[in-house]
Each structure stands twice: as C-alpha cells, then as structure tokens.
Homo-oligomer: A and B are copies of this chain.
Amino acid sequence: MNEQASGHRAGPVRSAAARDAILAATARLFQGQGYDHLTIEGIAKEAGVGKQTIYRWWPSRGALIAECLTDGRLIPIDFDVPYSGDLLRDVEEWLGSVLAILETPHGAMLLRSLVAAAAEDAEVGDHLSASLGVDRHLAERLAAGIRDGQLAADAPVELLGHAVLGTIIVQSLTRRPDVAGALRELVRYLVAAR
C-alpha cells in the first residue's frame, strides 16, 4: 500500500528527507569550516529547513556531529582490526587505516574539529572513539593478543586503546609532522612482546 499516494502519513517521509538534508548540511559545513564556525542557524539555512525542525530532533550541534559520526558521514565507521595471529602486524594495519584518513591535511583539520566538538559534548567523544574502533575492535584484538601470549597478561587493553588515540590527538593538537611514524614507534613499544 502506498501511503504517500493517499496524501496521509507523508510526515515521516518528509522527516526522513529533512533528517538526511540536515545531517548532510552539518557534515558539509563542519568539514568546510570546522566546529568553531558551525551554527544551528547556518545548518538550517544550508539544509533549507527551519531552526525549530533541527531542535525538534537534536538538542545541540554536538548531537548533530555525533550522529554524523554514527552515520559515517565524517569518517568511515567501524575500523576493523584484522586477526592474522600476529598482534603487532594487525594493530599496525588498523593504525594505517585510521591514519590514512586522519593524517591528510583535511583529516587532521577534521580530527581537530572533532576534538573541539568532543570538548563541548561528551557524546562526540564517545562516538569518535567508537567510530575509530578503539573501544571495541582494538581492545578485543589486544585481549586476543593476551590469550595468544603476545601481550602481558596485565596489559590494560582499553587504556592502551585510549593511549593510542590520545597520542594521535596530542600529536595533532601540537601539529607534529610525522604522526604515522611516531604512532608506529609507540605501538611497537606498547604491543611488541618484550
């Protein structure tokens, strides 16, 4: 049954289109101008909707950014960590995928904007960490490394993930030149069986 054709119940369909337009506008403006210049008013104008339409679904620009992250509109979602049996190689492969996105000039700016957004809105921090696969995939891969005897039994797997993500963030905030090289060195120290 085509409910649209009846003229009734068109609301949800329009809503889905508006939702998509709003998130697309958010992603476009955020990537172009960064978090500092992102306003609900600007997003409404870009999406061709009223500000109230946005506030009906999202309480803040941070909530919009968080949903863009979940939707994979800013960075690809759910970076997997492979399992080849070689812990260091697998973590380095994950790191390569993450840095391929974040180490370009555009990606570095995007990361800094996401960090600024996360500073204001806790949801963004959680979604950023989740999108990059830090909390789940990386922690699970490290835990498997403990089971395989390739990592110390007392290694704090979730914290090591945060240390890797945090180091990427610090290197980015202080505009270090060779983030990939530095992170490979750190990961070798953290992960290599010693």
Chain A residues engaging chain B, CB cutoff 8 angstroms = 34-36, 112-113, 115-116, 118-120, 122, 124-126, 128-129, 152, 154-156, 159-160, 162-171, 173-175, 182, 185-186, 189-190, 194
A118 nearest in chain B by CB position: B173
A174 touches B116 (CB 8 A): no
A34 nearest in chain B by CB position: B120
A156 touches B185 (CB 8 A): yes
A115 touches B173 (CB 8 A): yes
Interface of A, secondary structure class, is helix
A125 nearest in chain B by CB position: B173
Cα-based distance from A173 to B165 in the complex (angstroms) = 12
List residues of chain B with CB within 8 A of the CB of A165.
166, 170
Cα-based distance from A190 to B159 in the complex (angstroms) = 11
Cα-based distance from A6 to B129 in the complex (angstroms) = 62
Known: A115-B173, A119-B119, A152-B189. 9 other contacts (CB 8 A): A116-B120, A118-B174, A126-B174, A129-B170, A129-B174, A159-B167, A159-B189, A165-B166, A166-B170
